[in-house]
Structure 1
Amino acid sequence: MTQAAYGAQANPDLLARIPLDARRVLDVGCGAGALGATFRRRNPATRLEAVEADPALAEQAARHYDLVHRIDIESTAPPIPPGSLDALIYGDVLEHLRDPWAVLQRDAALLAEDGVLLVCVPNVEFWGFAAQLLAGRWRYTDQGLFDRTHLRWFSRQTMLEALREAGLQPLDVLPRIFEPERAEAFAEAMAPALKAIGVAKEDWLRRSAPLQYVWRATRRPPRLMVLVARTLRPVGGVNDVRILEPFRALASRPGVSTAAGPEAQLPKLEPEVPRVLILQRRLLDRPESLDYLRGLRATGALLVQEFDDDPAHWPVIAGNNNLAFRGVHAVQTSTPALRDLLSPFNDEIAVFPNALAELPEPQNFRDPSRLTLFFGALNREADIAPFLPVLNQVLAEAAGRLAVEVVHDQKSFAALDTPHKRYTPTADYATYRRLMAGCELAFLPLADTRFNRMKSDLKAVEAGGLRLCSLASPTVYAASLRHGETGLILPDPESLGHELRALLAEPTRALAIAEAARAWVREERLLARQVAPRLDWYRSLWERRAELDAALLRRVPALA
């Protein structure tokens, strides 16, 4: 890697550990600034500052940070008020310093009381180091573990000691292992020599497999919270949006531990450790459901039902006296309409609107002569059917200037009378978003039914985040999109034809609406805005657990 490319790629393990709702972050040795650029897409409101002594790299990084301090970190302390940083990052920096221990001790005071220090350092015990030394091939290089600018070396143990000497509380360490098979093969080859010197092969492999370590440390022990979710089997992006991405956002906070899966289990915990178990859309309609809930309650966890659809779609829920909502301590959902619908069965309900983890760089509007309409939804065949004749008419008129991208809905795809169409079967969430990102328009039809009125505006949020112009039904979307500004509302099929023809005549209008929709998502519908409210609610549940458990037993005495 050349110096000009240093910092051109974000370290994903550092990125995941920057508190998503951080107010102020200092990235020391930011290089070209990829870490800041990527985090900016997750939380545009964070004040991002950096330290970079190299003038050329600092110039590149300045595009992504609010301020770049062009100083030598060893000779000059960062001009940051003590106690003001939510995150202080040393990504591949400490090994380049003459006295990294002094720098750590000096800069620890910059952290807020609940701020986090993030460090990525190479591992001097890495097996590749030993392999080159034994073979007599050790040489300095221009990058990597043997970088000629490395002055100091750390093992896992010595980095732990350095953090403690700086007055910090080490929280956790992540080994970055890139070639596990080669590490295992080398350890196996070394096994006789290791045995001869009294070193267990398994212990040496554990220490030598990581190329680097990523550490988290704080000034004081953080408040703990353990969150476990029992999710649905993967279907589209339902799990991603409602559980997996929010969990990743919450886990960026020090002290918050998350785990999710269809049969996820709570770890063994001391009784005082706060814990919440989330059940994603569990119908609890079987005869053994009471025993199931009794077992979960016995773990000491607060039980939360996550539900984001009209429960009337599953009559078995009402058939079991709405145990799905009455038999838990609390409920979380996605819209005020669902909150109001569920409130007769549980008094403790929180609304967390669907939101995006980040705003990717736009990939569309590259050909001004052509627009692509995206349609990708589960179980919307009846909603789109009235629009198909008008859509086919516009497609014929457009003569190739309008194409259609369809995900999942094979019946509607077959009804499109055009060669300018492409079909993808039901896909994972990453594929779904990639296909959407290549389109300019999003078609979001919802017939005015009770079930649809309980839907969220997620597809408009996804479209806006990817810079698409949404053409949407009034049902659900009229409450979120401003017609003509952040989207286009279609009261009837004829309006679809009118709006499509207008956009084909003036594609720049579609781009303007898409940009405004992206700004709406950036300001209101990113997960960074929900980290504190979600965590505060879960902590509130734990603090009120006796009260909530008593209310639960009043609703369902059989759970006692």
Structure 2
Amino acid sequence: MTEATYGLVANSDLLARIPLDARRVLDVGCGAGALGAAFRRRNPAAALIGIEPDPALAALAAPHYDALHRLDVEAVAPPLAPGSLDAMVFGDVLEHLRDPWAVLARDAPLLAPGGVLLACVPNLEHWSFTARLLAGGWRYEEKGLFDRTHLRWFTAEGMRQALEQAGLVPVDVAPRVFDAEKAETLAAALEPALAALGTTPADWLRRAAPLQYVWRATPRAPRRLFLAARTLKPVGGVNDVRVLQPMRALASQPGVRVEVSQSGDLPAPRAGLPHVLILQRRLLDSPQAVAYLKAARATGALLVQEFDDDPAHWPSIARNGNLAFSGVHAVQTSTEPLRALFAAWNPEVAVFPNTLAELPEPANFRDPGRLTLFFGALNREADIAPFLPALNQALAEADGRLAVEVVHDRTSHAALATPHKRFTPTADYAGYRAVLARCELAFLPLADTRFNRMKSDLKAVEAGGHRLCCLASPVVYAGTLRHGETGLILPTPEALLAALRSLLADRGRALAMAEAARAWVRSERLLAQQLGLRRAWYDSLWQRRAALDAALLRRVPQLA
């Protein structure tokens, strides 16, 4: 990447390892600021500070940072107080310095006791070095591993020593591997020579395949935690919101390791390491359920059931004595009504409301002549049916100024009497969000049933994050949306028709409510705001594991 474009694309491996709940982050050599912009979408409340000496790049980066300093980081120390940073990032910087060891030692004290230093450095042992040296074709180039501005070179062990000499504790290192097949081909060709040197192709590849390493180091050894999750098969984004995104967020904290699988296989025992096994919506209604839980408990893990729907939807759970909840150490869920329900079978219940992993940039309200209504949910045909006549009337009156996007619900889509409609089959979470993003209005009907009353407000959170104005039922959403401010609560088809007429006449009102909903999500419903609570709960479970295990055995003695 040339100097003029450096930093236009965020390094995803660095981004994933910045603690999601970091309050103050320094990005050294931020280039055009893509890393800062990407982290800002995940944690808008963080104070981001950039350092970039190049004036053109600094101008591009400035809008993404709270402060940006144009300085030579080797000549001038960052103007920050000791202990003031939660994260300090050196992305593709250290190799350009004359004395990176001195810079690391000087700046390490800027980290708070729980802070983390991240560095992405090139690997001197990369296979392409060997190939070029053996062929006699090594030379400096304009970019990449052989960049002519690279003054220092690192091996994995050399970088470890540099971090330790700076007074830091290396926590983990992630190899960045590209062109793996070329590396394997060269390893096979070198096998006789490697054998003569006392090594194997596999051993050499471990060192030679990575083009770069991403390191994390801290001022002191972090608290360790291992989280394993066993998920459902992917359905409508449920895995993403309830398990995958929170697990990735927790893995951004140094010392936390995660493992996610759709299989029911149990993780290996982790002697001496705090570890939690999260079972996503496992009904535990089969004759083998007790044996499975007994084996899971034998691994030494704390067992947590992740459940965010009314269990009455699956009568087999009750027929098996609600073992799904009584047979684990703890339960995590998404709403207070569910917490109250699960507490009858297990007193250890935590509520983590559904959130967004990041705040997307708005992509709607671009066509001044049309509003598009989004409807996309699983098993909502009965909820929307009473509203279809009113919706069809609004579509007829709008004469092309109102369109509808429908995801999954083919029956309701077919019932819409308009050519201004589009249908998308059941999509993965990214596809679902892509359709949502191009709409201005979100229709969220829920009939007043026990099952619906237990639902979460996730669809309002998703819509608000994408800057949509919600038209929602009182069930669930009256407790979330502020009528007339962050959306509209519409109890009847007549209210829906009146609201659509009003918004088509004054689309500025729809935009104002959509902006207010996005501000609500930004301030209250992002995963970054919840991360500390999740980590604290898992740590607390582990600290109380003896008492929790005794309580589990009192509830289900056959697990002993």
Range of TM-score over shorter length: over 0.9
Other-structure match for 1:515: 515
| Distance 1:266-1:253 versus aligned 2 partners, 3 A rule | farther
What's 2:141 paired with?
141
**Counterpart-to-counterpart distance in 1, 2:117 and 2:179:** 27
Cα distance in 2 between the residues matched to 1:137 and 1:290: 64
In 2: Cα distance, 1:303 partner to 1:201 partner: 41
Find the aligned partners of 1:56 and 1:109 in 2 and give their Cα distance.
30
In the other structure, the counterpart of 1:247 is 247
CA distance in 2, matches of 1:374, 1:133: 59
Name the residue aligned to 2:531: 531
Take 1:366 and 1:217, find their aligned partners in 2: how far apart are those partners?
A: 45
Alignment of 1:270-281 (within 5 A): 270-281=270-281
1:203 CA drift (Å): 2.1
CA contact (8 A) 1:228 1:265 kept: no
CA distance in 2, matches of 1:60, 1:451: 50
The answer to whether the 8 Å contact 2:334/2:354 transfers is yes
For 2:192 and 2:441, the matched residues in 1 are separated by: 64
Q: CA deviation at 1:49?
A: 0.9
CA distance in 1: counterparts of 2:369 and 2:133, whole angstroms: 60
Alpha-carbon distance, 1:176 to partner: 0.7
Partner of 1:256: 256
Residue type at the aligned position of 1:384: I
Partner Cα distance (1:222, 1:323) in 2: 35
Local SS of the residue matching 1:332: strand
Q: Is 1:14–1:120's contact at 8 Å kept on the other side of the alignment?
A: yes
**More off after superposition, 190-199 vs 296-305:** 190-199
* TM-superposed deviation, 1:360: 1.3
The residue aligned with 2:433 is 433
Does the CA contact (< 8 Å) of 2:228 and 2:267 recur in 1? no
Q: Is the 8 A contact 2:269 2:300 kept in 1?
A: no
Q: Deviations over 1:452-500 (max 9, x none)?
A: 0000000000001111111111100011001111111111011111111
- Does structure 1 residue 495 correspond to structure 2 residue 495? yes
> In 2, distance between residues paired with 1:4 and 1:503?
45
Cα RMSD after superposing both structures: 1.4
Range moving further from structure 2, 378-387 or 501-510: 501-510
> Is 1:168 the equivalent of 2:184?
no
Q: Does 1:201 align with 2:201?
A: yes
- Contact 2:467/2:514, CA 8 A, preserved across alignment: yes
- 1:119-138 equivalences under 5 Å are 119-138=119-138
Alignment of 1:145-544 (within 5 A): 145-263=145-263, 265=265, 267-544=267-544
Residue 96 of structure 1 is matched in structure 2 by 96
Instruction: State how far apart, in whole Å, the 2-side matches of 1:43 and 1:441 are.
Output: 25
* Deviation, structure 1 residue 199: 4.1
2:120 is paired with a residue of what secondary structure? strand
The Cα of 1:86 is off from its aligned counterpart by 1.0
CA distance in 2, matches of 1:432, 1:270: 38
C-alpha displacement of 1:268: 4.0
Structure 2: gaps (5+ residues): none
The TM-score normalised by the length of structure 2 is 0.97
Per-residue deviation, 1:137: 3.5
Q: Is 1:71 matched up with 2:71?
A: yes
Secondary structure at the residue paired with 1:362?
coil
SS of the residue corresponding to residue 514 of structure 1 reads: helix
Q: In structure 2, how many angstroms separate the alpha carbons of the residues matched to 1:471 and 1:229?
A: 35
The aligned residue for residue 552 of structure 1 is 552
- Distance between the aligned counterparts of 1:269 and 1:161, measured in 2? 31
> What is the one-letter code of the residue matched to 1:144?
G
Contact 1:229 1:264 in 2 (8 A): no
- After TM superposition, the runs of 4+ consecutive aligned structure 1 residues lying more than 6 A away are none
CA distance, structure 2, for counterparts of residue 272 and residue 235 of structure 1: 36
Query: What is residue 5 of structure 1 aligned with on the other side?
Result: 5
Count of residue pairs the alignment pairs up: 560
Q: Relative to structure 2, which stretch is displaced further, 157-166 or 526-535?
A: 157-166
Closer, same or farther in 2 for the Cα pair 1:67/1:322, shift >3 Å? same
What whole-Å deviation, never above 9, does each CA across 1:369-398 have from its counterpart, x for those lacking one?
Answer: 111111110000000001111111111222
What SS does structure 2 have at the residue aligned with 1:475?
coil
Q: CA deviation at 1:509?
A: 1.6
Q: Tell which deviates more after alignment, 63-72 or 184-193.
A: 184-193
Amino acid at match of 1:151: L
Q: Which residue of 2 aligns with 1:22?
A: 22
| Percent identity of equivalent pairs | 72
- 3-state SS of paired residue (2:132): helix
The Cα shift of 1:267 comes to: 4.6
- CA offset digits 1:316-373 (Å, max 9, x no partner): 1111111111111111110001111121111111100000000111111111111111
User: What SS does the corresponding residue of 1:248 show, helix, strand or coil?
Assistant: helix
5+ unaligned residues in a row in structure 1: which ranges?
none
CA offsets, 1:512-539, max 9 Å, x none?
Answer: 1111111000000000011110110111
Shift of residue 132, structure 1, vs aligned partner: 3.1
